[in-house]
């Protein structure tokens, strides 16, 4: 349904966790320090990687709503989180987990963010968060999102938004062409209108400043070497698939690039994280 498999999300999770910008994570922790409980909405949750990355930084009692349009990913999230927790049990619609001294209640909500954002935020969460989502959405949606989050005066923390930079080692003659085609593919419609792609963080930053928020962003690149060869291979496959779909590059060039890139020694993929809070 969404084009993101649980297998792909599991493959990227360790790289995502290692890449998150540590200063912004520390600032997120500081904003809510002293709070006993928090309500949090995670948009485009996949299998719950964002919860697993943030829970240790947040209050002793956490109520999470995990939102995705893909029911298979929501089912995988329920399973993955149950395995991740020190202990846990379902309670009605909720999953009640304990992990490292935190009590975490999780609800799962199947919804389309393109059309159902306002009702999703109706409960006025303290924190709205999302990982690896915003490059998929449109600039218009980002403006509406900022207005909606600010209506609730919620904090926004987002991680791992693709920023358009890629460095592959060793270099290949088709790198620039394939990356340009990948960027063209990035701005195609992913269900929200033409996507913001690598411009998403800049648009988000301006939109949140315009509604009176203090905003900080910071880099969270994947720096992948031989220990991440499976992820490098999947990135190469995904890049080639996207480039092929644009029709901008001869098939022979894509094939030659893919053959070399499957075995690339290293690559760096740029992301940005962002933290926005109502001005004090």
* Site residues for ligand SAM per CB under 6 A: 2, 4, 9, 16, 44-46, 49-50, 68-70, 73, 112-114, 131-133, 136, 191
Output 4 or 208, the one with its CB closest to ligand SAM: 4
- How many angstroms separate the CA atoms of 78 and 151, rounded? 30
Q: At what angle do helices 229-246 and 175-186 cross, to 10 degrees?
A: 70
Nearest CB to ligand SAM, comparing residues 209 and 233: 233
Question: How do 94-99 and 87-91 pair as beta strands?
Answer: antiparallel
Backbone φ and ψ for 44, nearest 5 degrees, come out as 65, 55
As measured in angstroms, the least distance from the Cβ of 190 to ligand SAM is 6
HEC string of 53-102 equals HHHHHCCCEEEEEEEECCHHHHHHHHHHHHHHCCEEEEECCEEEEEECCE
Least distance to ligand SAM, CB of residue 158, Å? 10
Nearer to ligand SAM, 46 or 239 (CB): 46
Which one-letter DSSP state was computed for residue 221?
-
User: 3-state DSSP call for residue 160?
Assistant: strand
Of 16 and 126, CB closest to ligand SAM:
16
Least Cβ distance, residue 253 to ligand SAM (angstroms): 27
Q: Which is nearer to ligand SAM, 72 or 179 (CB)?
A: 72
Q: Are 155 and 130 in contact (CB under 8 A)?
A: no
Neighbours of 73 (CB within 10 A): 25
Q: Are 5 and 234 in contact (CB under 8 A)?
A: no
| Contact in structure between 242 and 185 (CB atoms under 8 Å) | yes
Least Å distance, CB 141 to ligand SAM, is 9
Q: Nearer Cβ to ligand SAM, position 191 or 270? A: 191
Residue with tokens 């960027």: 183
Q: What tokens were used for 132?
A: 């690896």
CB of 274 to ligand SAM, least distance (A): 14
Q: 4 or 64, CB closer to ligand SAM?
A: 4
Give the bridge partners for 224, in sequence order: 267
Question: Shortest approach of ligand SAM to residue 161 CB, angstroms?
Answer: 10
Least Å distance between CB 116 and ligand SAM?
Answer: 8
């Amino acid at each position: 349904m969404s084009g993101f498999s649980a297998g792909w999300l599991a493959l990227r999770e360790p790289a995502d966790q290692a890449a998150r910008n540590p200063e912004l994570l520390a600032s997120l922790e500081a904003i809510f320090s002293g709070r006993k409980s928090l309500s949090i909405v995670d948009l485009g949750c996949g299998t719950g990687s964002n919860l697993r990355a943030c829970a240790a930084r947040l209050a002793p009692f956490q109520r999470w709503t995990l939102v995705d349009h893909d029911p298979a990913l929501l089912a995988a999230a329920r399973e993955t989180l149950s395995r991740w927790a020190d202990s846990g049990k379902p309670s009605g619609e909720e999953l009640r987990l304990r992990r490292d001294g935190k009590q975490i209640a999780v609800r799962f909500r199947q919804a389309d963010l393109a059309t159902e954002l306002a009702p999703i935020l109706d409960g006025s969460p303290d924190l709205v968060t999302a990982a690896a989502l915003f490059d998929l959405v449109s600039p218009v949606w980002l403006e509406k999102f900022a207005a909606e989050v600010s209506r609730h005066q919620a904090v926004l923390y987002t991680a791992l938004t693709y920023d358009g930079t890629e460095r592959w080692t060793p270099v290949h003659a088709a790198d620039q062409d394939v990356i340009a085609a990948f960027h063209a593919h990035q701005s195609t419609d992913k269900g929200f209108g033409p996507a913001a792609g690598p411009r998403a963080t800049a648009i988000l930053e301006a939109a949140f400043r315009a509604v009176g928020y203090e905003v900080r962003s910071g880099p969270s690149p994947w720096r992948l070497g031989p220990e991440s060869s499976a992820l490098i291979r999947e990135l190469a496959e995904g890049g080639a698939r996207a480039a092929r779909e644009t029709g901008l590059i001869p098939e022979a060039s894509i094939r030659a690039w893919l053959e070399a890139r499957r075995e690339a020694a290293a690559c760096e993929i740029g992301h940005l994280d962002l933290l926005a809070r109502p001005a004090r």
